[in-house]
A and B are shown apart, each in its own frame.
Chain A
Amino acid sequence: MSESAVLVEGAEAQAAGGDVGDARSLGADAWRSLRKSPFFWVSAVLILIFLLMAIWPSLFTSTDPTKAVLKEARSRPSDAAWFGRDIQGYDIYARVIYGARASILVGVLTTVFTVLLGGAIGTLAAYAGGWVDSLVSRITDIFFAIPLLLGAILFMAALSGTMTGYFGVIFKVVMALTLLGWPSLARLMRSSVLQVLPNDYVQAARALGASPWRIIRSHIIPNAMGPMIVVSTINLGAYIAAEATLSFLGIGLTPPVISWGVSINDAIVGLRTTPHMLLFPSLFLSITVLAFIMLGDAIRDAFDPKSR
């Protein structure tokens, strides 16, 4: 670097108090470091592909997933059916592609609902404090104590026979997972709000006469959201896996809905003779779950100032 360039840089540093450049929010800083992470790019590309699959499955295949070719049932992967055919002669490749929609819909909707519900309850408990906090925390603990599968089985059993359309079934599963998934996010949000509350900028807003709603909206939530975003990104993968588990057990999504969990369930009959029926849906499921977990890790690293 030339002498004068150094001089200019030094001058800039002086002028801007050690920093160069214009407005750079923490989010922008995180993005700068996120861009350098290979894990971020790999997971982002994978997630993008899965999202496209969910929205426009016809981009990836022209085969109808509901077209059964019974005489070729259980056939191994071939030119005609890349991933082979399942027990009813459906094209596995087409079913895997079309199955993405249900799985991702369950994952995304459950994440949105748990974030809204858990975030709101956690924030309320921490901000209100006192007996409200004690009460809400105990209720959270009660829900926390219900095992996911047992709770979901009970919930689905209780609602069996209702809401049987495509979205109805998906909505039921989302409700079951949300009901059992919000407590962990509520706890997380509560503890990060408790860390933000004593900060002087919250006190300064109080001294200015800001309303509780304003304090929560512009000071607490933006600063307490970080951990919840990271965890729910990771959870998104977990919800997709949970959906598959429920469907596998026959209490989640049920045919005619096409999903990875349903496909895995179907494949069980030929576990030893036709493992390809199990392999491909499982592979897609694992890669999706992994991609979301990787994305969550990358985001956490980017937002954690210590790792920078």
Chain B
Amino acid sequence: MPEVILQARDLVKHYPIRRGILRTVQGHVKAVDGVNFDLHKGETLGVVGESGCGKSTLGRLLVRLEAPTSGTVEFEGADMANASGKELRALRRNIQIVFQDPYTSLNPRMTVGDIIGEPFEIHPEVVPKGGRRKRVQELLDLVGLNPEHINRYPHQFSGGQRQRIGIARGIALDPKVLICDEPVSALDVSVQAQVVNLMEKLQNELGLAYVFIAHDLSVVRHISDRVSVMYLGKMAELGHEEEVYERPTHPYTQALLSAVPVPDPTLRGKRQHIVLQGDVPSPANPPSGCRFHTRCWKAREKCKTDVPELILRPDGVGEHFSACHFAEPQVIVPTTDVSDVEPDERFAEVDHRDPATIAEAEGTLQDADGLRPETTTEAQANLFAPIQDDEGHPGRVPDERRDV
């Protein structure tokens, strides 16, 4: 397994609840409550969970938009959670974020060129001033947008195109890690696939590691190498994609998987539906012991008192991380391997450029803007070559325990 580049240890974020005239602290919302994981170079770690499970807070902690209450986030050995000033600014180049809502994530008063160019203004050492415009155009091309649209404003683009702009801003500084907070959930079905494919392409070309936060279990399965399931600020299960989806051992994962609708009417009535009782408890006052015990059909006395550790537990084939005292694998989603099935090219395309751009480039549409310039394939190849200056940085030796 490749080296670990991002390591979260005992990450905790408690938000104080203040009430009364004196604004005294009356308790804490335990948004993230002890999260551990390793992220390896070039992999995608999916984080799934329902609203209020703390997955978005986790993402914000990882890019240090929030300071953790306690715990560490180490990027190649440097603690980002407790860094400040120049050191933090330098570390930020390595971890960037893509947001969910393409309508609020781009400043409406700035042109696309200014938005994607801002990272270079903040970190002027990355690209010399004269080369910035060219670099921005290369980035636009890389995410499949027409480089000539550099002077347009965000509202002139559709949701999917805006998300591409957000991604271009995220990769501008050539980060090693990209935190993706629900990057496709605001997009239409047909556009979702375009953006997912783009993200996979960028990962292959640039060697990015993703933390892919989403509530859509199908999208997460598609894009992730490893997956973690969060419930009330803690990880319930963590393992490789096929371990979590095919041999889930935590009852919450099992319930979650059973609730996801599958676009196949022939499975009607044949799938097992695990219906959970009640609602998710408030993170301000989480249940004792195992946080899931109030809704779990397997809960016993032990679950009310003892917090189950997230440790390797057998899943029938091997073992993966699960935080359940009574972990046992159960097949919820019978899976078909379709790796060798190629989609019919007559109906859908696997080209990753923005289709509007393709149309212009191929001249299939009569475009007033005229022809696109030569595709900058060479420029693309060299795009990130000059800024690979972190080679000498001592990477962390992969952890023997694989995770946690």
Contact = CB atoms under 8 A, between A and B. Distances in A.
Do A and B come together as binding partners? yes
Interface of A: 7-8, 11-12, 14-27, 199-201, 203-211, 214, 218-219, 222-223
Contact of A208 (B157, B173, B365): B173
A199 B104 contact: yes
Contacts of B153: 23-26
A8 B366 CA distance: 6
Contact of A209 (B92, B156, B359): B92
Nearest to B150: A23
Contacts of A222: 107, 109
B328 interface: no
Given A17-B356, A204-B105, A209 B89 contact: yes
B82 to A, nearest CB: 16
B156 A16 contact: yes
A222 B161 CA distance: 23
Query: Which of B105, B122, B368 has the most chain A CB atoms inside 10 A of its CB?
Result: B368
Contact of B65 (A7, A11, A16, A206): A206
Given A206-B65, A207-B65, A16 B356 contact: yes
A285 B100 CA distance: 52
A15 B369 contact: yes
B97 A17 contact: no
Contact of B366 (A7, A207, A210): A7
A200 B104 contact: yes
A209 B88 contact: yes
Interface string B67-107: 00000000000000000000011001101110111001111
A48 to B, nearest CB: 27
A8 B169 CA distance: 32
B151 A23 contact: yes
24 contacts: A12-B367, A12-B368, A14-B356, A14-B359, A15-B369, A16-B156, A19-B157, A22-B152, A24-B152, A26-B109, A200-B104, A201-B104, A201-B105, A201-B107, A204-B99, A207-B64, A207-B92, A208-B173, A209-B123, A210-B118, A210-B122, A214-B122, A218-B107, A222-B107
Given A206-B65, A207-B92, 12 more contacts: A18-B158, A20-B368, A26-B155, A199-B104, A201-B106, A203-B99, A204-B97, A204-B99, A208-B173, A209-B123, A218-B110, A222-B107
B153 to A, nearest CB: 5
B109 A25 contact: yes
A84 B180 CA distance: 75
A33 to B, nearest CB: 14
Contacts of A219: 107
Contact of A15 (B60, B123, B173, B367): B367
B243 to A, nearest CB: 31
Contacts of A12: 365-368
Contacts of B169: 204, 208
Contact of A26 (B108, B122, B366): B108
B314 interface: no
B106 to A, nearest CB: 6
A23 B152 contact: yes
Interface string B112-152: 00010011011100000000000000000000000001011
A287 to B, nearest CB: 34
Contacts of B365: 11-12, 14-15
B36 interface: no
Contacts of A218: 107, 110, 118
A55 B107 CA distance: 39
A215 to B, nearest CB: 10
A11 B106 contact: no
A27 B89 CA distance: 33
Interface in B151-183: 151-153, 155-158, 161, 166, 169, 173
A17 B99 contact: no
Given A203-B99, A207-B92, A207-B96, A17 B366 contact: no
Query: Which of A18, A23, A222 has the most chain B CB atoms inside 10 A of its CB?
Result: A23
Nearest to B159: A17
B246 interface: no
Contacts of B225: none
Contacts of B108: 26, 223
A8 B367 CA distance: 7
Nearest to A25: B153
